């Protein structure tokens, strides 16, 4: 296991947080190495760039383009875990930002004070005001498109780019929101509404989830990572971190052990290690790093590594309109409703949720799968149904806050190993009483909106349950080492120089999509690493 030259910071993971850290630290002249389990994605193979893309929506992430062993979601689920949770992620340069929808509404101040407001969960250890400048920096870097028409949004300055115009479908659904007295606003999106020198604006192709061949979506591979590499950061692809390594005293990091592309064991020496693997892989790595003086895993004196695993709950409804509205055109999310976002003591549930007005209906093949196939139509009846109804369907979704407990957790499977011989993550997460009450309200709201908009044949597009993409909470930050894993800046209480910067830090899930919060927290962590010194920071 030969040692390599010591770097200032070794980052594990190149997604939403790892990409931010790499850029911010490299810009200051630090020697940065990023370890990424996946490969670089070939933009020319993005499905929407191919004539038959709807038949192969997964081709962007197929084994021809990404190492299958690295890409595959190798996890197990506890027998008593809720079956609606199915992990969805991407192992690649850029992480899961390579297939995200770009929805990036900022949280609200109340998101950080859930315990004070509800008596549930815990409060965040930082005030909302401290995150505001980091949101501004991230939004400028991503070129977020938006409009100040959401009356529930905390005061803020203008967005870097004008809002992407609401699609025909979203404008139609907005009429239902208007009829119910709900405020349907433009959704802030990390998608360009106007061109830059290197990237094109959104072309309304509707294929966001499969990757953006226009380059309009501000994923890490389009934004932070190129600047990081230009500033000297090195990204090692196809490598698998196995252990965080410590000094003999067990109190400070010395680097990361990892398998290289040839599955040879290597060691990257580093003054600082930053874990940006997501809220499943980060606790897994800490637990795998157990040693004689840390028998329960690293940074785990509180016993909370892997605990309080959270995501968001979700429910979706679909309906048909008499007129054609073409809900396959436009960004997957093109509008939002935040009337039920903030906690309200008058409601029978704690916390809140957000409505996403969508353009993710897909083309004829997806319409057949979702609408026609369940009706068992064939021949002339099938053709007539498709001709009459394709382009007339729309779906809307609601994402809800989940109040995790210590029983919701990531652990190491005692028997199942991955291709490197490492124990795979074992996931356990459940819907609790407050979640069920909120999901019932969410379901009623999405049905009411479609009905008020004039839709018919309204039915569940996605049954109430968990969303497997927003991974949060397994190494929560806090002021008390007995009840948290890291301090308010992401440095672990137990081990000097070991930082966490991904969604694991979240003390609570918040009520909205987490990516921009993860990126803002990562920006804050980067500034803390720089401020603590002892690194080769340029003037």
Tens-place pLDDT, residues 234-252: 999 999 999 999 999 999 9
Cβ–Cβ under 8 Å, residues 281 and 310: no
Share of the chain above pLDDT 70, in %: 95
Determine how many CB atoms are found less than 10 A away from the CB of residue 271. 20
Question: Which pLDDT score, from 0 to 100, does residue 58 have?
Answer: 60
Lowest mean pLDDT among 22-26, 321-325, 326-330, 533-537: 533-537
The C-alpha atoms of residue 418 and residue 197 are separated, in whole angstroms, by 43
Q: Are strands 76-77 and 184-185 parallel, antiparallel or unpaired?
A: unpaired
Q: Are strands 393-401 and 353-358 parallel, antiparallel or unpaired?
A: antiparallel
Instruction: Provide φ and ψ at 424, rounded to 5°.
Output: -80, 160
Q: How many CA atoms lie within 13 A of 42 on its CB side?
A: 13
Q: Residue ranges of the alpha helices (H) in 38-127?
A: 68-71, 114-118
Question: What is the rounded average pLDDT for all residues in the chain?
Answer: 93
The C-alpha atoms of residue 90 and residue 71 are separated, in whole angstroms, by 7
Q: Evaluate if residue 57 carries a pLDDT over 70.
A: no
Angle at 438 between CA 123 and CA 319, to 5 degrees: 135
Confidence of residue 68 (pLDDT cuts 50, 70, 90): very low
Which of these, 221, 237, 307, 280, lies nearest to 469 by C-alpha position? 280
Confidence of residue 59 (pLDDT cuts 50, 70, 90): low
Beta bridge partners of 230: none
Confidence of residue 206 (pLDDT cuts 50, 70, 90): confident
Average pLDDT over residues 425-442: 98
Q: Evaluate if residue 463 carries a pLDDT over 80.
A: yes
Q: Evaluate if residue 147 carries a pLDDT over 90.
A: yes
**DSSP per position, 189-211:** BSB-SS--SS-PPP-----GGG-
Q: In b/e form, how buried is each residue of 467-482, taking b as 16+ CB within 10 angstroms?
A: bbbbbbbbbbbbeebe
Q: What tokens appear for 38 in the block?
A: 């996946």
For residue range 270-289, list pLDDT tens digits in order.
999 999 999 999 999 999 99
- Residue 144 contacts by C-beta under 8 Å, 6 or more apart in sequence? 104, 159, 160, 161, 188, 189, 190, 218
Confidence of residue 539 (pLDDT cuts 50, 70, 90): very low
Confidence of residue 360 (pLDDT cuts 50, 70, 90): confident
Q: What tokens appear for 440 in the block?
A: 């019932």
Question: Which pLDDT score, from 0 to 100, does residue 51 have?
Answer: 76
Confidence of residue 141 (pLDDT cuts 50, 70, 90): very high
Q: Are strands 498-500 and 161-162 parallel, antiparallel or unpaired?
A: unpaired
Lowest mean pLDDT among 6-15, 371-380, 467-476: 371-380
Q: What tokens appear for 337 in the block?
A: 């409703």
Q: How many CA atoms lie within 13 A of 478 on its CB side?
A: 19
The C-alpha atoms of residue 455 and residue 176 are separated, in whole angstroms, by 9
Question: Which pLDDT score, from 0 to 100, does residue 65 have?
Answer: 44
Question: Which pLDDT score, from 0 to 100, does residue 388 have?
Answer: 94
Q: Evaluate if residue 187 carries a pLDDT over 60.
A: yes
For residue range 320-352, list pLDDT tens digits in order.
999 999 999 999 999 999 999 999 999 999 999
Confidence of residue 44 (pLDDT cuts 50, 70, 90): confident
Average pLDDT over residues 450-476: 95
254 SS3 class:
strand
Cβ–Cβ under 8 Å, residues 139 and 20: no
Cβ–Cβ under 8 Å, residues 75 and 278: no
Walk across the sheet containing 76-77 and list its strands: 76-77, 423-428, 409-417
Lowest mean pLDDT among 60-74, 90-104, 455-469: 60-74
Cβ–Cβ under 8 Å, residues 513 and 483: no
The C-alpha atoms of residue 23 and residue 225 are separated, in whole angstroms, by 6
Question: Which pLDDT score, from 0 to 100, does residue 43 have?
Answer: 74
**DSSP per position, 261-282:** TTS-EEEEEEEEEEE-S-TTHH
Confidence of residue 534 (pLDDT cuts 50, 70, 90): low
Question: Which pLDDT score, from 0 to 100, does residue 74 have?
Answer: 83
Per-residue HEC secondary structure of 280-296 comes to CHHHHHHHHCCECCECC
Superfamily classification of domain 7-41+49-80+90-145+161-211+218-532: FAD/NAD(P)-binding domain (3.50.50.60)
Question: Which pLDDT score, from 0 to 100, does residue 294 have?
Answer: 98
The C-alpha atoms of residue 114 and residue 273 are separated, in whole angstroms, by 31
Question: Which pLDDT score, from 0 to 100, does residue 73 have?
Answer: 54
């Amino acid at each position: 296991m030969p040692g390599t030259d010591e770097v200032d910071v070794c980052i594990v993971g190149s997604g939403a947080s790892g990409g931010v850290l790499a850029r911010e630290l490299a810009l200051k002249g630090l020697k940065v190495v990023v370890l990424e389990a996946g490969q670089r994605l070939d933009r020319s193979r993005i499905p929407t760039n191919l004539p038959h893309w709807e038949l192969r929506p997964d081709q962007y992430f197929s084994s021809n383009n990404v190492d299958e062993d690295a890409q595959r979601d190798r996890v197990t689920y506890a027998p008593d875990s809720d079956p609606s949770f199915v992990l969805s992620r991407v192992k690649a340069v850029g992480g899961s930002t390579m297939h995200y929808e770009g929805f990036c509404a900022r949280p609200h101040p109340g998101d950080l004070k859930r315990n004070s407001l509800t008596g549930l969960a815990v409060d965040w250890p930082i005030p909302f005001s401290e995150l505001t400048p980091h949101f501004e920096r991230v939004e400028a870097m991503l070129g977020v498109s938006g409009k100040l028409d959401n009356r529930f949004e905390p005061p803020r300055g203008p967005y870097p780019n004008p809002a992407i115009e609401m699609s025909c479908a979203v404008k139609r659904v907005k009429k239902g929101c208007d009829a119910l007295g709900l405020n349907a606003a433009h959704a802030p999106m990390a998608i360009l509404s106007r061109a830059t020198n290197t990237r094109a604006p959104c072309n309304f192709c509707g294929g966001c989830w499969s990757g953006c061949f226009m380059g309009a979506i501000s994923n890490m591979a389009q934004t932070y990572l190129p600047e990081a590499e230009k500033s000297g950061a090195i990204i090692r692809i196809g490598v698998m971190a196995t252990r965080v390594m410590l000094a003999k005293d067990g109190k400070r990091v010395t680097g990361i052990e990892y398998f290289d592309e040839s599955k040879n064991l290597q060691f990257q020496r580093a003054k600082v290690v930053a874990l940006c693997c997501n809220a499943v892989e980060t606790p897994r790595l800490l637990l795998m790093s157990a040693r004689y003086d840390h028998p329960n895993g690293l940074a785990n004196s509180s016993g909370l590594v892997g605990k309080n695993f959270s995501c968001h709950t979700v429910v979706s409804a679909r309906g048909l309109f008499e007129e054609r509205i073409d809900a396959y055109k436009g960004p997957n999310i093109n509008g939002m409703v935040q009337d039920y976002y903030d906690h309200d003591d008058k409601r029978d549930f704690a916390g809140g949720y957000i409505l996403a007005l969508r353009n993710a209906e897909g083309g004829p093949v997806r319409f057949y799968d979702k609408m026609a196939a369940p009706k068992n139509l064939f021949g002339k009846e099938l053709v007539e149904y498709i001709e009459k109804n394709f382009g007339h369907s729309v779906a809307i979704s609601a994402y809800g806050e989940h109040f995790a407990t210590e029983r919701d957790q990531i652990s190491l499977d005692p028997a199942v190993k991955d291709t490197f011989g490492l124990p795979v993550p074992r996931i356990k997460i459940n819907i609790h009483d407050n979640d069920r009450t909120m999901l019932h309200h969410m379901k009623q709201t999405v049905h009411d909106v479609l009905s008020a908009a004039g839709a018919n044949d309204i039915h569940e597009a996605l049954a109430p349950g968990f969303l497997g993409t927003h991974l949060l909470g397994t190494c929560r930050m806090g002021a008390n080492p007995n009840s948290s894993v890291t301090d308010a800046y992401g440095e672990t209480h137990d081990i000097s120089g070991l930082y966490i910067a991904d969604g694991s830090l979240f003390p609570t899930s918040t009520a909205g999509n987490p990516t921009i919060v993860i990126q803002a927290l990562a920006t804050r962590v980067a500034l803390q690493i720089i401020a603590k010194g002892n690194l080769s920071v340029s003037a």
